[in-house]
Structure formats: structure tokens, C-alpha cells
């Protein structure tokens, strides 16, 4: 278990373990974050906040952690931490920081959509220092390591990307980086039920979801905005439509996306382009072989299959929506921010069968 206050020498992070606090620890992303951090060799969990579960053992909510930790949820906050993870609903992260200003020395990683877009990437709030009110601010860096790794290393605050956004961007970044996005992009992608969060809704009940599939938010999914900002970051002149049809799948976790667009690149050029772009990124892997969700579920990996079909580049991108699409990527960002090896605590094996 990783719940003690003992410290290990680690010159990369100032000679101590990273002390982490978690807000909203009772949901899916909070549970996955706990599963990783409890076993992370450089982290001590200082507190796990939950208003509705304060006083309960974590394993009473996240039953998969029974036997791994004796931590309890708390309704109290502590500023004696190095990093704060916000695993709250969209719109609630900004409200939380405004109501609960933490010292600037505390790094923040937000898993909601509140700070992902450039126009919303900062926050100002009133803080009290020695009884004197002062105005403080935080600016957030978009936390997709395959796009912004060097900026993440220097960042104090991270806006963790959305799950669909991560999967689709990883399928398109090499083309944008080489100015090869020159036509409309067509995408169909299916996500598991955990992508909708833990709160019950008519489309998340087992009786509705099982043996069923449906389209939602066709052409206007909210993640298109952050995808567009990332693509034009690499290819500023890109102005073609990105046509995205999301599906609800009748499985629990994972995203599979199929993407195609017109291209003059040859098959060999496409494979080399993708392989070269991701050569230094430990979690994104390129192949020409057929891929399937069981290869990546329960891991922080993204697998990308690339092909050339006539005049079309055809890309399949798969990943776990709760890990590479949320909590795993948040820990990957934390590792980069604190100078750790990027893969620390994240070498997770897929169930595969």
C-alpha cells in the first residue's frame, strides 16, 4: 500500500514523494486515479475528498481496491500537498477553485473540460494571504503529451484532454504536423458506457445499453472544439470540416475510432509519417496490423492502425477512455510536470482475453 507518510529520496522532485490530493474521488475517473496512485512508487495520497462519502473507506465505493488501501474519503481539504487532481463534473472545477483557492505552489490537474479551450484556459479568484484579500490567477496548459510534452514539463496547471478528443487527435496529429491535412475528415467512433460518467441517465442503464447502439451529438460533439485547436496549432492553415459521428457502444470501457480523408501520400509514406511522429512517445504505437479494443483496455496505451485505400488514408485509433482518455493521462502529465520518467506507475497490462 502507498498510504504512509514516509518519504523516499528522489532528487528529481526535490527529495520527497509527491503528495497528492484528489477532489471528487468517488466517480469513475477518481477510482481509476486511485488505482494508479496507490501503486505509484513516487506518490503519497494525502487526501481523497468526497462530500457524499466522507468517512467511508475508499474500498466501500471502489470495491476493486479492497485489500489495497485503508484510506477513507474525507470532507476536509489540506493545502499541504504538491498536486491537486480535480475529478469533478464539467463546470464544477472552475467553481471549486474559485471557492477553495490553493497556494500557487500546488500544481493542479483538471480532468473536466473547464480549462481545455484557449479562451477558457485561465481563472482569476480572490485569495487571502495574512488576512489581506488578493487576486490570484492560474493559467492551464492543454495536457496532451504527444502534442505539448515540453510545455507540460514547464506547466503548473494542466487541462487534461477529453477522451474522444485524445483518441481522435492521436489519429490525426502526424498529418497536421506535416501539413498533410488537406481535405475533409470523416470520423466514426464508439465509446463504452463509462464515458458517460457514473451518474445514471436513461442511456446508461444496463437494460437500455445492453445489446444496443445509438448515435449522439452527431457533427457537434463538444470535443470537436479542442480537436480543432490542436490541429491548427500544428497546421495553422487547416480549415476543412471534421465530420464526427459518435456512437454509444454496448460495452463498458474503451474507444474505437475510424478516420478517413483524401491524401496523395503513398502507403509507405503514411506509415513512416506516423511511426516517426510517435517514435519518442511511449504510450502511442503505430501498426499496419488489425487492432481491437481488448489490446488496450486497462492500459494507458493508444494503438493506431494506418492504411492507404485508393486515394484515402484510413486510420483506426483505439484506447481506454478512463486511462489514456482520463486518469492515466493525468498521471502521465503529473510525471512530466515533476520530472519523473513518463511511464512511472503506468506500465499496465491489458486483460486481452
Catalytic residue positions, numbered: 163
Distance CA 209, CA 17 (A): 42
- Alpha-carbon dihedral sign for residues 68, 71, 72, 75: negative
Nearest CA to 304 out of 171, 203, 189 is that of 171
3-state secondary structure 112-145: CCCCCCHHHCEEEEEEEECCEEEEEEEECEECCH
Q: How does strand 242-248 pair with strand 185-191? A: parallel
Distance CA 58, CA 56 (A): 6
Distance CA 247, CA 271 (A): 27
The percent helix, strand, coil of the chain (3-state, each to 5) is 30, 25, 45
**CA dist 99 → 17, 116, 150 (Å):** 28, 20, 31
Q: Which three cell numbers stand for residue 269?
A: 509514406
Cβ pair 173, 179 in contact under 8 A: no
Q: Which three cell numbers stand for residue 150?
A: 515540453
- For 239, how many CA atoms within 13 A lie in the half-sphere containing its CB? 1
**3-class secondary-structure state, position 171:** helix
Cβ pair 92, 23 in contact under 8 A: no
Amino acid at each position: 500500500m502507498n498510504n504512509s507518510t514516509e518519504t523516499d529520496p528522489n532528487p528529481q522532485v526535490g527529495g520527497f514523494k509527491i503528495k497528492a490530493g484528489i477532489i471528487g474521488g468517488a466517480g469513475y475517473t477518481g477510482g481509476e486515479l486511485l488505482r494508479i496512485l496507490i501503486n505509484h512508487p513516487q506518490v503519497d495520497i494525502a487526501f481523497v475528498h468526497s462530500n457524499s462519502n466522507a468517512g467511508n473507506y475508499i474500498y466501500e465505493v471502489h470495491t476493486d481496491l479492497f485489500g489495497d488501501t485503508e484510506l477513507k474519503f474525507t470532507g476536509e481539504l489540506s493545502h499541504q500537498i504538491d498536486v491537486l487532481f480535480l475529478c469533478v463534473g464539467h463546470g464544477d472545477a472552475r467553481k471549486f477553485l474559485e471557492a477553495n483557492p490553493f497556494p500557487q505552489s500546488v500544481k493542479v490537474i483538471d480532468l473536466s473540460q473547464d480549462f481545455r479551450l484557449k479562451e477558457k484556459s485561465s481563472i482569476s479568484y480572490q485569495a487571502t494571504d495574512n488576512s489581506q484579500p488578493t487576486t490570484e490567477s492560474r493559467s492551464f496548459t492543454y495536457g496532451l503529451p504527444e502534442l505539448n510534452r515540453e510545455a507540460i514539463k514547464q506547466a503548473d496547471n494542466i487541462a487534461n484532454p477529453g477522451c474522444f478528443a485524445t483518441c481522435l487527435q492521436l489519429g490525426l496529429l502526424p498529418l497536421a504536423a506535416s501539413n498533410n491535412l488537406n481535405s475533409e475528415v470523416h470520423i466514426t467512433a464508439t465509446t463504452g458506457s463509462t464515458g458517460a460518467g457514473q451518474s445514471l441517465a436513461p442511456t446508461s442503464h444496463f437494460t437500455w445499453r445492453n445489446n444496443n447502439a445509438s448515435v449522439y451529438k452527431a457533427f457537434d460533439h463538444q470535443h470537436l472544439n479542442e480537436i480543432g485547436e490542436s490541429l491548427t496549432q500544428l497546421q495553422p492553415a487547416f480549415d476543412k470540416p471534421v465530420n464526427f459521428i459518435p456512437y454509444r457502444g454496448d460495452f463498458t470501457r474503451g474507444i474505437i475510432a475510424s478516420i478517413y480523408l483524401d491524401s496523395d501520400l503513398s502507403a509507405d509514406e503514411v506509415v513512416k509519417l506516423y511511426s516517426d511522429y510517435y517514435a519518442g512517445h511511449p504510450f502511442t504505437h503505430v501498426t499496419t496490423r488489425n487492432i481491437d479494443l481488448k489490446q488496450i483496455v486497462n492500459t494507458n496505451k493508444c494503438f493506431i492502425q494506418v492504411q492507404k485505400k485508393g486515394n484515402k488514408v484510413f486510420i483506426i485509433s483505439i484506447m481506454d477512455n478512463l486511462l489514456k482518455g482520463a486518469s492515466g493521462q493525468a498521471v502521465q502529465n503529473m510525471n512530466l510536470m515533476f520530472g519523473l520518467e513518463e511511464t512511472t506507475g503506468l506500465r499496465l497490462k491489458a486483460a486481452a482475453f
